[in-house]
Amino acid sequence: MSEFWLISAPGDKENLQALERMNTVTSKSNLSYNTKFAIPDFKVGTLDSLVGLSDELGKLDTFAESLIKRMAQSVAEVMEDSKGKVQENLLANGVDLTSFVTHFEWDMAKYPAKQPLVGVVDTLAKQLAQIETDLKTRTAAYNTLKTTLENLEKKSMGNLFTRTLSDIVSKEDFVLDSEYLITLLVIVPKPNYTQWQKTYESLSDMVVPRSTKLIAEDNEGGLFTVTLFRKVIDDFKSKAKENKFTVREFYYDENEIKREREEMTRLMSDKKLQFQTSCVALKKGSSTFPDHKVKVTPLGHPDRLAAGQTDRERESEGEGEGPLLRWLKVNFSEAFIAWIHIKALRVFVESVLRYGLPVNFQAVLLKPHKKSSTKRLREVLNSVFRHLDEVAAASILDASVEIPGLQLNNQDYFPYVYFRIDLSLLD
């Protein structure tokens, strides 16, 4: 289970003995792994200030949990080609999260225990707020890039009637820079190939004989070129339509095609090389589209890649780690560490508020062995520490007991200080 319970009990002799009983029972029944959780002695201040901090820490705890969850999701998103390795990249101070929690030590350098609690909490709040601000900026840039790339990729999807043709055609397929002649692209259904070859020259006047060539095809038909005089374009289109031949509106602009290819290459490169772990070297001028349901095969251009070819079939160069992933890993670690420090602060503040002064309590970290054993573990804890709050403990052990004037959710209230650390939210 990726769940921990962080509890505390007063540090007097009676309660230390209760902790020993708890350890004995949970160990014999194989309910949980227990270890002491060290929390420094902080400057307490006034009880009023502690009450205020209790509320603030509750909100900060929720915010930190939400933030690290979002960061974990972002790591999974940018590692879309390596989702199985996401957990390997969610570390805290270089170790896995479970190890960090079970071996937690307060960072005195970053959060000095000698300064007032308010200052420690303020430092944590500012740190997390800055991480969130940076996360929003960086993920917004990533999402903009991803959306732009997806929009360009959509142009490559579909059949010959709808998809872009810039990665299929070449300069050699067209008569260019002619005052009188023009090359059109015509989509011909596969069953009508023979009919096209027999009739295209007679669809209108002034069609250049033997000017047709099949340059690409998909499952439904083929893309043919035909050259004719500009003055008969409208007549040719009309006659072609009558014979179920479709003229694709396309003008070969070498600069525009080059710009589109370079834009796609740049976006793919940015997404792969800057953000993802898999780095793909894209050949200059090559098709850069992903798998499609309809594969379009260029004909007569062996140097050009098919638009249906996948990135993995292209030339690749090892693996790397881009700046967004690096930033996410570093700052996820920082945010997670801050979150566990907030949990420690909550235990301290609640322990002082519940058990009083002078500060004297023992914090313990429990890791339930099985989800099915959590109910039994709670019963053991509530029984062992029921003396801390007899009335509340009775209501927990017996859900039928009502406490006059006190509204409690029996599932959420305990006679001891209790906080839950749930790592499953990062799975």
pLDDT-derived band at 142, boundaries 50, 70, 90: confident
Report yes or no on whether pTM surpasses 0.75. no
Rounded mean pLDDT, 18-47:
93
In this structure, are 140 and 201 located in the same domain?
A: no
CATH code: domain of residue 43: 1.20.1460.10
Rounded mean pLDDT, 381-391:
84
| Better pLDDT: 256 or 339 | 339
pLDDT at 294: 38
In this structure, are 237 and 138 located in the same domain?
A: no
Closest CA to 45 of 330, 265, 353: 353
In this structure, are 37 and 78 located in the same domain?
A: yes
- Phi then psi for residue 302, to 5 deg, are -60, -20
pLDDT at 287: 36
Q: Is the model's pLDDT at 400 over the cut of 90?
A: no
Q: Is residue 257 part of a domain?
A: no
Q: Is the model's pLDDT at 188 over the cut of 90?
A: yes
Residues 6 or more apart in contact with residue 228 via CB below 8 angstroms: 181, 182, 184, 204, 206, 207, 208, 211, 236
- For 254-313, what is each residue's pLDDT tens digit? 887 778 777 777 766 666 654 444 333 333 333 333 333 334 544 544 443 333 333 333
Dump strand ranges (E) for 323-389: 361-368
**Residue for token pair 């090389």:** 273
pLDDT at 273: 55
Dump strand ranges (E) for 87-220: 91-92, 95-96, 181-189, 213-217
pLDDT at 256: 79
Q: Is residue 260 part of a domain?
A: no
Cβ pair 210, 286 in contact under 8 A: no
Structural domain total, the chain:
2
Q: Is the model's pLDDT at 319 over the cut of 60?
A: no
* Residue where a domain terminates, one of 234, 251, 268: 251
**Residue for token pair 């960061």:** 71
Q: Is residue 303 part of a domain?
A: no
Helix (H, G, I), strand (E, B) or coil at 221: strand
Q: What angle do CA 171, 175, 177 make, to 5 degrees?
A: 95
Rounded mean pLDDT, 31-38:
95
Determine the Cα–Cα distance for residues 329 and 75; give it in Å rounded to an integer: 8
Tokens matching residue 58: 């509750």
Select the highest-mean-pLDDT range: 78-87, 222-231, 365-374.
222-231
Residue 93, Ramachandran bin (φ over 0: left; ψ between -120 and 50: alpha; else beta): left
Rounded mean pLDDT, 232-255:
93
Q: Which of 122-131, 153-162, 370-379 has the lowest mean pLDDT?
A: 153-162
- Distance (Å) of CA 345 to CA 91, 121, 296, 372: 22, 8, 61, 29
- Phi then psi for residue 217, to 5 deg, are -150, 155
pLDDT at 300: 45
Q: Is the model's pLDDT at 195 over the cut of 70?
A: yes
Q: What angle do CA 78, 84, 90 make, to 5 degrees?
A: 65
Q: Which of 36-50, 261-275, 318-332, 368-382 has the lowest mean pLDDT?
A: 261-275
In this structure, are 55 and 185 located in the same domain?
A: no
* Mean pLDDT over the full length of the chain: 83
- Distance (Å) of CA 399 to CA 193, 373, 413: 80, 19, 12
pLDDT at 398: 55
pLDDT at 272: 63
Determine the Cα–Cα distance for residues 140 and 144; give it in Å rounded to an integer: 6
Cβ pair 27, 354 in contact under 8 A: no
Cα 325 vs. chain centroid, distance in angstroms? 10
Rounded mean pLDDT, 68-85:
86
Determine the Cα–Cα distance for residues 91 and 89; give it in Å rounded to an integer: 6
- Phi then psi for residue 331, to 5 deg, are -80, -25
% of the chain beyond a pLDDT of 90:
58
pLDDT at 262: 76
**Residue for token pair 């820490």:** 57
Q: Which of 134-138, 150-154, 385-389 has the lowest mean pLDDT?
A: 150-154
Q: 200 is in which domain, residue-wise?
A: 171-251
Q: Is residue 270 part of a domain?
A: no
Rounded mean pLDDT, 355-360:
92
Q: Which of 60-64, 88-92, 118-122, 395-399 has the lowest mean pLDDT?
A: 395-399
Rounded mean pLDDT, 146-156:
76
pLDDT at 265: 72
In this structure, are 48 and 114 located in the same domain?
A: yes
In this structure, are 143 and 7 located in the same domain?
A: yes
Give me the count of residues in the chain: 427
Rounded mean pLDDT, 386-399:
62
Q: Is residue 87 part of a domain?
A: yes
Q: Is the peptide bond before 298 cis (omega within 30 degrees of 0)?
A: no
Q: Is the model's pLDDT at 216 over the cut of 80?
A: yes
- Alpha helices in 170-232, H assignment, sequence order: 193-199
Element (H, E) at 142: helix 117-154
* Residue where a domain terminates, one of 251, 286, 302: 251
Rounded mean pLDDT, 188-207:
95
Rounded mean pLDDT, 192-218:
95
Determine the Cα–Cα distance for residues 354 and 15; give it in Å rounded to an integer: 14
Residues 6 or more apart in contact with residue 372 via CB below 8 angstroms: none
Q: Is the model's pLDDT at 220 over the cut of 50?
A: yes
Radius of gyration over every alpha carbon of the chain, rounded to an integer in angstroms? 34
Q: Is residue 286 part of a domain?
A: no
Rounded mean pLDDT, 362-390:
90
In this structure, are 121 and 175 located in the same domain?
A: no
CATH code: domain of residue 217: 3.30.70.100
Cβ pair 281, 290 in contact under 8 A: no
